[in-house]
Structure 1
């Protein structure tokens, strides 16, 4: 089953006075006050003396924060606040106020401002600006998984695959466990044909979510697509051990053994699948093919015999071939019954298999 990430960031836009249901008159008054503070602060920052003081920049940054959280008329106010605090830090140049500015740059307030406005861009499908703000929020709070998660999601939606990889990996490194992130990141690596990384991500996801069957199935699929049948078999066995009644996993394990040439193991698992679901179409069809192919191989031995050898051993070998064709027939007939019960047309490969088996068995009957 393909996992997808769905995150509602609308919930982020619920903090601050702007979202608390104040009437328009009060909100406009507050926005005007904040706008006036920004105008005053911007003017002061351009003054030679005042602009040389970090406190000027700190006040301006705080006004931008208020704009982002409590007014919302400037959709990039949070980014301006962040950059202005950075400017204050530069002006302070290691002075006494450095710690306070650094604290402001890692505060919950600037984080909330960035996340809130990033959510606004996300909801309006402006993924480029949303990514910009979520990226900054992740810098503000580097151990936070939410900002990393959102930055990864938006990076993927904005087709910025490098950003998606960076932030999904960061989410995982910080202890995030959402199975969909592991799946999405593995799909990115699969798309880049980086199978080793895809496998590594899925194994981490399984370690974080040991009961997630979809991640385990995805790991098997990646290993199969890369030709690692032995690893795929090992992973499928774990899936079967965890859910011994899942006929699809049992059947897939049988098919893996069959395709790997391990016929005895394949037969064992085909029969286990039938024990769980006797009318499973795919299992019955594969078992019919299994015995049919064995019969053909035996029949080929007869075709290679010269007259002398045929007179000595031919009939016995032909009897073995006929017995195998007879073993194949009931499985094909079960498939036919399943489709008829479902009211579906018979597949061409089933009708041709049944025709071939019946024809051969008629010849076998004439020989007796």
Structure 2
């Protein structure tokens, strides 16, 4: 980010616009000191200080000190300003109209053409800034802005000083004046947007950046910050549109494509969470009934198994009527069958209750919402993979694209494994092995991306993930699961 982007700008400013040679003529400075002492003494003289001519002369003296001899008085511009105001106050005709001196002073105070008071304030403000007197510098720059309302120089430097002092409101006001008066420096628009962003005023931040883009249409920093602020404000869809435009305008810029993939990746994760939430919500009614029915079916499957065991053990007992172990086995199986029979009765009640609860729900509406979330989930998944791979076409060694794509496939495998974990005995017997094969396939698909990521950049996170992944694949191999890559 560019939090302190203004500092170098002001230090470069120096006093180039107003500076003389390295050493100001000593005689001139001595003259300023002498004239200043006399003017300061006369300012306390009631007779001299009652004349507008005195104040006009004093104003011009201090203005020249500010422009040519700041070592005599580092705040001479302020004294000049007050003296010019005094001229306007005193030089009034009998008709109540401004006199000649008053008109001249008013022209200076308004920053009229050819006048120098504005420059005097800017120069002494810059000197104070370079001496690290930020408060003094800000005072000077604000006074300069008051003299010339249409200038961009004092508003720029006033904003810089205010920002350094963490006076955000003053900084915003100064930078707004800069932009309103036609200032074009993109870093100012960027910095002003950051000030608004820090207040969560995202709309104003975006508006500021767009104004900057009018002045600098091709500026990549401003365009990228629009995306960042849209994301910070929760406008993910709009951020994606902006970033897609950036990627289209600069198709060889790998970072734009990677960032776009990451946005879609984030959208996929958000959509996945939404699918889980909606599934859980639906599970309170119709899906709860389905879950209860599955549990009931599983218990009934157990009864069939127990009946088979009872039949088998009973046949053995007929042949070995004195075998105590067989009698114990029969007793255990009979007890377990009784437990399952009692569980079945309980589950039948849960099924009935869940079915009744589902009647009061908008099943169709819930299913529609869930279908929409799943569609968004799939679209985001496809777009994320597409853009990660597009980034790798541009730069096959891009670490972020390699690592994130590996993580993407790894997480997909974990989610799919959740299906296997939630299967009952019957479901697992029907399709458990096939799904496990697909789970293994997705884990295997992630492996080359982690390996290439490590080759591109020796990072611990990629190494740790690859170690975990290899351990998972070894477990599948030990179980004899054939990996099915899709």
TM-score range, shorter chain: 0.7 to 0.9
Q: Which residue of 2 is the match for residue 62 of structure 1?
A: 60
Matched, 1:104 2:112: no
1:77 to partner: Cα distance: 1.0
Q: Which residue of 1 is the match for residue 76 of structure 2?
A: 77
1:355 to partner: Cα distance: 2.8
List aligned pairs for 1:7-86, cutoff 5 A.
Answer: 7=9, 8=11, 11-12=14-15, 15=18, 19-20=20-21, 27-48=25-46, 50-72=48-70, 73-86=72-85
Moved more, 112-121 or 39-48: 39-48
Moved more, 173-182 or 199-208: 199-208
- Secondary structure class of the residue paired with 2:417: helix
List aligned pairs for 1:215-234, cutoff 5 A.
Answer: 215-234=222-241
List aligned pairs for 1:333-348, cutoff 5 A.
Answer: 333-339=451-457, 347-348=463-464
Matched, 1:311 2:429: yes
Moved more, 83-92 or 126-135: 83-92
Q: 1: distance between equivalents of 2:265 and 2:398?
A: 17
- Secondary structure class of the residue paired with 2:221: helix
Moved more, 107-116 or 355-364: 355-364
CA contact under 8 A between 1:199 and 1:222: conserved in structure 2? yes
Structure 2: give runs of 5+ residues left out of the alignment.
Answer: 269-379
- Secondary structure class of the residue paired with 2:150: coil
Normalised by the size of structure 2, how large is the TM-score?
0.67
Matched, 1:158 2:161: no
1:250 to partner: Cα distance: 0.9
Change (3 A) 1:57 1:299: same
Moved more, 256-265 or 277-286: 277-286
Change (3 A) 1:28 1:296: closer
Q: 1: distance between equivalents of 2:74 and 2:388?
A: 61
Deviation digits for residues 201-260 of structure 1 (CA, Å, limit 9, x no counterpart): 223223322222222222222222332212221221122122112222211111111211
Change (3 A) 1:279 1:13: closer
How many residues align structurally? 361
Change (3 A) 1:122 1:234: same
Deviation digits for residues 111-134 of structure 1 (CA, Å, limit 9, x no counterpart): 221122112211111111111111
1:22 to partner: Cα distance: 6.7
Matched, 1:116 2:120: no
Deviation digits for residues 184-213 of structure 1 (CA, Å, limit 9, x no counterpart): 222223333333333332232233222222
Matched, 1:349 2:465: yes
2:174 to 143, 167, 171: 167
Q: 2: distance between equivalents of 1:20 and 1:299?
A: 78
Q: How much is the aligned-residue C-alpha RMSD, in angstroms? A: 2.8
CA contact under 8 A between 1:13 and 1:120: conserved in structure 2? no
Normalised by the size of structure 1, how large is the TM-score?
0.86
Q: Which residue of 2 is the match for residue 282 of structure 1?
A: 400
Structure 1: give runs of 5+ residues left out of the alignment.
Answer: none
Change (3 A) 1:54 1:12: same
CA contact under 8 A between 2:447 and 2:466: conserved in structure 1? no
1:147 to partner: Cα distance: 1.0
1:149 to partner: Cα distance: 0.9
Q: 2: distance between equivalents of 1:165 and 1:276?
A: 41
List aligned pairs for 1:241-252, cutoff 5 A.
Answer: 241-252=248-259
Deviating above 6 A after TM superposition, structure 1's stretches of 4 or more consecutive aligned residues are none
Change (3 A) 1:126 1:264: same
CA contact under 8 A between 1:182 and 1:205: conserved in structure 2? yes
1:362 to partner: Cα distance: 5.1
Moved more, 6-15 or 196-205: 6-15
Q: 2: distance between equivalents of 1:127 and 1:99?
A: 34
CA contact under 8 A between 1:329 and 1:357: conserved in structure 2? no
Moved more, 174-183 or 350-359: 350-359
- Secondary structure class of the residue paired with 1:177: coil
Matched, 1:255 2:262: yes
Matched, 1:206 2:324: no
Deviation digits for residues 63-89 of structure 1 (CA, Å, limit 9, x no counterpart): 111222233311111111011111212
Q: 2: distance between equivalents of 1:258 and 1:152?
A: 39
- Secondary structure class of the residue paired with 2:116: helix
1:47 to partner: Cα distance: 4.8
Deviation digits for residues 276-311 of structure 1 (CA, Å, limit 9, x no counterpart): 122322222222222233233333333333333333
